[in-house]
Amino acid sequence: MRKIRDILRLRLAGGLSIRQINASTKVSLGSIQKLLNKAAELELGWPLPDDLDEVQLAQLFYPDADTGASSRFQVPDWPVIHQELKFKGMTKLLLWEEYTQQYPNRCSSYSQFCDRYRHWRGRQKRSMRQIHKAGEKCFVDYCGQTVPIIHADTGEIRAAEVFVAVLGASNLTFAEATWSQQLPDWLSSHVRMFDYFGGCTAMVVPDNLRSGVSRACRYDPDLNPSYQQWAEHYQVAVVPARPYKPKDKAKAEVAVQIVERWILARLRHHSFFSLAELNQCIAALLEDLNQKPFKQLPGNRQQAFEYLDKPALRPLPRHPYRYVHIKPVKVNIDYHVQYRQHHYSVPHQYVGEKLELHAGESLVTIYFRQQVVASHVRKHGPGITTEAAHMPTRHRKHMQWTPGRLKSWARDIGPEVLAWVDKQLHSKAHPEQAYRVCLGLLNLSRQYPAQRLDAACRIANRARLNRLKQIKSILKSNRDRLPEQLELQAELPQHHENIRGPRDYH
């Protein structure tokens, strides 16, 4: 159709001959002659009318030609077919067979069916070109490809993940290897990313990785609490990409592809024996990548960063972010919360409440409704850390008892009481097991005089009475007030008239 307009322009406006038009348009002489004769019949002049488009112009010269799809074939209902393909187990072959059954004499072949569907689907897609302002966005993601690292002693092979970040305006790229995609490595990579850039962007756009986004949602995603705390520390906004919408972070997708091609592909024949060795090689190749000239733009990533992003980045905070594991906990009946096999105390008023535990490298802080209620030095092994101020009054008083304090109180009452208490403390595997019975005895001094209690303990010590109720029975029966009985002789006399000897038995 463009050739028709060119032929008319060259003839009517330029006054060229048929052979000159043939040399310019490469259209045969006969076709040119037919077009010019038809134009004379239609009385067309130059310029052509403004409302005459290409399709209408072609229909004037070739009225019998069908500019659209052939009427021989029935055009399938592509929107319906597109929706049907979303069902599990549905294939294009099955839909084509149903199409041929419905239009047996007007159906196209399977290859034409698939080709026209692809053409129709391609016209439905729309891509919006995003314009990134300097210092506004940073896109982060992980490479799908991992790098093997060999343990030098055991020969065990462990795969390292590769973290990638890219600035929206300048395309300056950062990459490093970590052992995993877990939350500590995820946040540590973010910290080193901003250190590499030398400043903070206004927004960070991650994928819906579980370490960053607790619950993915198109409209209202939930960030991981530790990730949110990192964002507050650097005063940035985290805007996760929509689920299954990779174009939301197209910069990160391209950066991952570039890192895999220009860094990881170059390291494919290298063997690494430590994560530090791998990161050293990545850092060297990363500098080459950022110095690599653009193909369609002047300069390179580093120069674009110096000109665009660097002046717009916000300064880093005074101290870098330190990873803090945030975990919801419930206070047990013993007013303790558990974190990795260690129990930490909180004020006993919070028994049954749900608190938020922040575990750093050296400190464990516990919050209730954003208010600090307890703070402990972090312990990395099993055990119990209890602060006396968190205990109820009666528990605190009980914890103040020690074997020395019990013995001191018993000594003030009398030596026999001290002897009975000391025997109780030593008879148990742990002295605390005897605290209650010792306190029960010592509290009897408030009911009975010290002399009577000491006398009752003297009777108990001689008779080897170890039960508290036996001493109470002595006091209630006033046995301690009776005169002391003489001890019976343990041995009988050797010579007596009523005793026979060996000589009497033969």
The beta strands (E) that lie in 287-391 are given as 325-330, 336-339, 342-345, 354-359, 363-368, 371-377, 383-385
Query: For the purposes of burial, counting CB atoms within 10 Å of the CB of 108, is it exposed (0-12), middle (13-18) or buried (19 or more)?
Result: buried
pLDDT in tens, the chain (506 residues): 567 888 888 888 888 888 888 888 888 888 888 888 888 888 888 888 877 777 788 878 877 655 444 557 888 988 888 878 877 788 999 999 998 888 888 888 999 999 998 888 887 766 556 677 888 899 999 998 999 999 888 889 999 999 999 998 889 999 999 999 998 899 999 999 999 999 999 999 998 887 777 676 666 677 788 888 888 999 998 888 887 777 777 888 899 999 999 999 999 889 999 999 999 999 999 999 999 998 877 889 999 899 888 998 999 998 888 888 888 999 988 889 999 889 999 998 898 899 999 988 889 999 998 899 999 999 888 888 888 888 887 766 666 667 888 888 889 999 999 999 999 888 877 777 787 788 888 889 989 999 999 999 999 998 888 899 999 999 999 888 887 654 545 565 666 666 776 766 65
CA 85 vs CA 90, 265, 474, 486: distances in Å: 5, 37, 94, 108
SS3 106: coil
**Residue ranges, CATH 3.30.420.10, the chain:** 137-312
C-beta separation of 221 from 261 below 8 A: no
Q: Give the pLDDT confidence score for residue 74 in this predicted structure.
A: 87
Sign of the dihedral through C-alpha 363, 368, 370, 373: negative
Non-local CB neighbours of 228 within 8 Å, separated by 6+ positions: 238
Compute the distance between CA of residue 395 and CA of residue 279 in angstroms, rounded to an integer. Answer: 54
Rg (CA), the chain: 46
What is the H or E stretch that residue 142 is in?
Answer: strand 137-142
Which structure tokens are listed for 247? 């174009």
CATH code at 137-312: 3.30.420.10
At residue 26, what is the residue type? K
Sign of the dihedral through C-alpha 329, 334, 335, 336: negative
Q: Give the pLDDT confidence score for residue 159 in this predicted structure.
A: 93
**DSSP letters along 146-185, please?**
-EEEE-TTT--EEEEEEEEEEETTT--EEEEEES-SSHHH
**Taking every pair of C-alpha atoms in the chain, what is the biggest distance, in angstroms?**
174
| Other Cβ atoms within 10 Å of 227 Cβ, number | 23
Q: Name which of 108, 104, 105 is nearest 120 in CA terms.
A: 108
Q: Name which of 369, 358, 374 is nearest 226 in CA terms.
A: 358
Compute the distance between CA of residue 332 and CA of residue 353 in angstroms, rounded to an integer. Answer: 9
Compute the distance between CA of residue 137 and CA of residue 352 in angstroms, rounded to an integer. Answer: 43
Compute the distance between CA of residue 144 and CA of residue 132 in angstroms, rounded to an integer. Answer: 25
Q: Give the pLDDT confidence score for residue 485 in this predicted structure.
A: 57
Non-local CB neighbours of 454 within 8 Å, separated by 6+ positions: 413, 414, 415, 416, 417
Q: Give the pLDDT confidence score for residue 463 in this predicted structure.
A: 87
Q: What are phi and psi of 253, to 5 degrees?
A: -60, -45
Compute the distance between CA of residue 187 and CA of residue 117 in angstroms, rounded to an integer. Answer: 44
Compute the distance between CA of residue 85 and CA of residue 371 in angstroms, rounded to an integer. Answer: 53
Q: Name which of 21, 56, 27 is nearest 42 in CA terms.
A: 56
Which fold, 2-61?
Answer: Arc Repressor Mutant, subunit A (1.10.10)
Which structure tokens are listed for 195? 């250190």
User: Residue 483 has what DSSP assignment?
Assistant: P
C-beta separation of 352 from 331 below 8 A: yes
Non-local CB neighbours of 348 within 8 Å, separated by 6+ positions: 335, 390, 391, 392, 395
User: Residue 383 has what DSSP assignment?
Assistant: E
**Residue ranges, CATH 1.10.10, the chain:** 2-61
